[in-house]
């Protein structure tokens, strides 16, 4: 008769590391930046706003600069997705309209991030000074979007209109946010103006 196997030693219970998803950090962090200013906001304060320990926050972000880089990179990645999609589509008025619709949706969702970048240009310049390519990152993406909504063989005036359509979405969303009755109204008006500039129909 085979001898009984020794009982397996119980596995040690490991307490899970506190989870701090990078996404939820954006809104509270930007709230504190708006209330106190970027320079005066600390990791301890954002941890308190999130209701977690500083150590849990530090596991994901070593500094407040890392947090800023994270939400700027999120914005960049979303733009890249629109550009990649647009590059795979036929160059039609309907495609131009869809590119502008997707881009305006990103701007609406990321307006707090865009406002932060506009209001803290000195900080953004310092954060991006480690890479010349990163400095011009958004300019290149805006030009890619402009190229995608420019009709083939377009004259200079039409190319300028396409660029203005892209620029107008971000600028108008920032400048007229308080004048619109709702974020939805602002989004719809901004998108219509951009589509008119780019001669982007729906067919």
pLDDT at 18 over 70: no
- Residue for token pair 């530090």: 58
Please give the tally of structural domains in the chain.
2
pLDDT at 203 over 50: no
pLDDT at 11 over 80: no
Whole-model pTM: value is 0.75
Residues 98 and 147 placed together within one structural domain of the fold: yes
CA distance 192 to 6: 74
Residues 57 and 68 placed together within one structural domain of the fold: no
Residues 103 and 173 placed together within one structural domain of the fold: yes
Condensed to tens digits (0 to 9), the pLDDT of residues 160-174 reads 999 999 999 999 999
Residues 68 and 150 placed together within one structural domain of the fold: yes
CATH of the domain at 79: 1.10.357
Residues 47 and 140 placed together within one structural domain of the fold: no
pLDDT value, residue 120: 75
**Contact residues for 109 (Cβ-Cβ < 8 A; gap 6+):** none
Residues 99 and 36 placed together within one structural domain of the fold: no
pLDDT at 201 over 80: no
pLDDT value, residue 136: 62
**Across residues 47-57, what is the average pLDDT?**
84
Helices and strands (H, E) in the chain, number of each type = 11, 0
**Owning domain of residue 35:** 19-62
């Amino acid at each position: 008769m085979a001898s009984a196997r020794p009982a397996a030693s119980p596995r040690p219970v490991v307490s899970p590391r506190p989870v701090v998803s990078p996404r939820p950090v954006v809104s509270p962090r930007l709230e504190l930046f708006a209330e106190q200013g970027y320079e005066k906001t600390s990791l301890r304060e954002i941890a308190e706003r999130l209701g977690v320990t500083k150590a849990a926050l530090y596991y994901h972000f070593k500094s407040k600069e890392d947090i800023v880089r994270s939400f700027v990179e999120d914005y960049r990645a979303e733009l890249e997705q629109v550009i990649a999609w647009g590059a795979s589509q036929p160059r039609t008025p309907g495609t131009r309209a869809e590119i502008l619709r997707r881009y305006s949706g990103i701007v609406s969702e990321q307006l707090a991030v865009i406002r932060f970048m506009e209001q803290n240009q000195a900080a953004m310049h310092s954060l991006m000074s480690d890479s010349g390519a990163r400095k011009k990152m958004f300019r290149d993406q805006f030009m890619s979007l402009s190229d995608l909504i420019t009709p083939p063989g377009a004259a200079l005036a039409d190319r300028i209109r396409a660029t203005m359509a892209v620029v107008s979405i971000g600028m108008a969303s920032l400048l007229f946010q308080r004048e619109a009755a709702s974020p939805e109204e602002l989004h719809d008006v901004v998108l219509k103006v951009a589509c008119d500039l780019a001669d982007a129909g729906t067919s």
